[in-house]
Amino acid sequence: MYLVTVLGNLLISQAVISDFHLHTPMYFFLSNLSFVDICFTSTTIPKMLVNIQTQSKVMTYAACITQMHFFVLFVGLDVFLLTVMAYDRFVAICHPLNYMVIMKHRLCGLLVLVSWVVCVSLFYGTSLGVSLSSAVTQNSHSIATASVMYTVVTPMLNPFIYSLRNKDLKSALRRI
């Protein structure tokens, strides 16, 4: 699942970069989402795979805090980029004649930058508190199931969701 996630997201990013027809705001945001999904899954899954292979659950405090920092950062980025993508589609549907005037390259870059900045400051403190408080309550089976769903399954499905019904992206992938 990890390899499918990384390869699928890399393929989307490569298609967007290499095909000039995909140099639009929607695909710019999609390639950023693909990058963030790779980073998101890479913060937890490699360690999880090592733990499964070695049957060890040992992790230093510093490694745990570092992993939590990047996990929360990339989860927040995922949320904000999905919001930005929704705004992009809103403008495209509700203001089609003004779309290119509104969604200039500078605004797209600014929206991605704001997503990066708003997410280490808004979510870091609350997510750390929630994760530390979850250490007190012990329902490990349901916590593990939920963790796998949002750390493995969702990022793995994103490339399929955003590319299977998209003719432009499919043709770019065929050319690659």
Per-residue pLDDT averaged across 144-167, rounded?
Answer: 68
Backbone angles phi, psi at 55, to 5 degrees: 55, 35
- The CATH architecture one would assign to domain 2-175 is Up-down Bundle (1.20)
Q: Residue 99: what pLDDT?
A: 92
Q: Residue 75: what pLDDT?
A: 85
- In angstroms, the Cα distances linking 123 to 38, 40, 93, 101, 144 are 20, 15, 30, 32, 21
Tell which wins on pLDDT, 92 or 72: 92
Out of 78-87, 117-126, 139-148, the most confident range is 78-87
Residue ranges per domain, the chain? 2-175
Confidence label for 126 from pLDDT (cuts 50, 70 and 90): low
pLDDT at 22 over 60: yes
Mean pLDDT of the chain: 82
Dihedral, CA of residue 29, residue 33, residue 12 and residue 108, to nearest 10: 10
User: What is d(CA 120, CA 73) in angstroms, rounded to the nearest whole number?
Assistant: 5
